Amino acid sequence: MIKRLKDLKKTILESQVWRSMFRHDYADTPRNRTLQIMSNVWMHLHPPKVRRHAIRIRFTWCMGGITFLLFLVLTVTGVVLMFYYRPVAEYAYADMKYLQFDVPFGMLVRNMHRWAAHGMVITVWLHMFRVFMTGSYKSPREFNWVIGVILLTLTLLLSFTGYLLPWDQLSIWAVTVGTNMARATPLLGHEGPFAQVAGVTPRYDARAFLLGGTIVGPPTLLRFYVLHCIFLPILASLLMIVHFWRIRKDGGISGPL
């Protein structure tokens, strides 16, 4: 019996299908440890080896990793929410109620999306805090810090655009308060310094461009939906690719030189 099982295992492991997917076995050898990382597109975010101190949780706090994990959670739950949600003023709120009461696990998915979004804002700040306190932005990692700051801004913008989508009192007034700032933009906002010089009006200034009108209305909902689900995630993903790639190219995770 055991011999048959062993033969079966051998047949599977040596079959063309198996070997087309996995190029190495699982035995714990230095070569396999390296291949686990090198021959796996996902694991290949990592180098085969890292500095010993870099795997200590009290050095990195794991904050960059947690931020990325939350981004993945947000992508998955966000796609599920998109199946049920229409970014139209007449339907948006009703769809939220539908998610809450009728869709199986709808409220759980919405809750996870909401709390993961808040969590991501916190973890991305803590990640920046950690990177600053370890001086990891110093040469040769200057440019990756700059990308990190852009990613932090994108995280805030993603969270902010998502805030409007439930289309309840909380969302439109929070977004109204937030976007009211845009009308005070120097030159580009109708209440900002030198507005007359630029000739902007309430209907034709930075805020109106952002909102698609003079108030937070149906065009704003559509704009924020497109920004939230397409533009900002794609931009953030592209910059994340650069961010992770640069860690490797700038000599791996920082440490005493």
Partner 1 sequence: MAEAPGRAAVAEKAKAAPKPKIKPIEDRVHCWPYLVRSEYVCSIIITALLMVWSIGIDAPMEEPANPTNTPNPSKAPWYFLGLQEMLVYFDPWMAGVVLPSLIIVGLMVIPFIDINPRGNGYYTFQERKFAVTMFLFGFLILWVSLIVTGVFLRGPGWNLFWPWEVWDPHKVVALTNVDLPYWGPFKVLGNPKIFDVELLGLTLVTLYLIVLPVAFWFWKSKTSPILQELGPLRYGIVAFLFLTMMGLPIKMVLRIAFNIKYLWVTPWFNV
Binding positions for partner 1, 202-241, rule CB under 8 A: 215-217
Q: Does 192 bind partner 1 (CB under 8 A)?
A: yes
**Separation between Cα atoms, residue 225 and residue 40, nearest integer Å:** 34
The number of residues that bind partner 1 (CB under 8 A) is 92
Please, what sign has the CA dihedral across residues 119, 125, 129, 131?
positive
> Residue 109: CB partners within 8 Å, gap ≥ 6?
77, 80, 81, 99, 103
Which lies closer to partner 1 via its Cβ, residue 11 or residue 115?
A: 115
- Paired tokens of 84: 């049920």
Taking the CA of residue 26 as centre, how many other CA atoms within 13 Å lie in the half-sphere pointing to its CB?
A: 1
Residue among 68, 71, 60 at smallest CA distance from 131: 60
Could you give the CA distance from residue 214 to residue 204 in angstroms, rounded to a whole number?
A: 9
**Longest C-alpha distance within the chain, in Å?**
89
Told to check if 93 binds partner 1 by CB under 8 A, we report yes
Q: Which is nearer to partner 1, 11 or 22 (CB)?
A: 22
Residues in 132-171 that interact with partner 1 by CB under 8 A: 132-139, 141-142, 145-146, 149-150, 152-153, 156, 159-160, 163, 166-171
37 is an interface residue for partner 1 by CB under 8 A: yes
* In the complex, minimum distance from the CB of residue 6 to partner 1, in angstroms, rounded to a whole number: 26
Q: Which amino acid is residue 196, in one-letter code? A: Q
Binding segment toward partner 1, per CB under 8 A, in 9-17, 40-48, 222-230, 236-244:
40-48
Chain residues 3-32 in contact with partner 1, contact rule CB under 8 A = 30
Task: Name which position in 121, 222, 240, 242 contacts partner 1 (CB under 8 A).
Answer: 121
- Cβ closer to partner 1: 34 or 84? 34
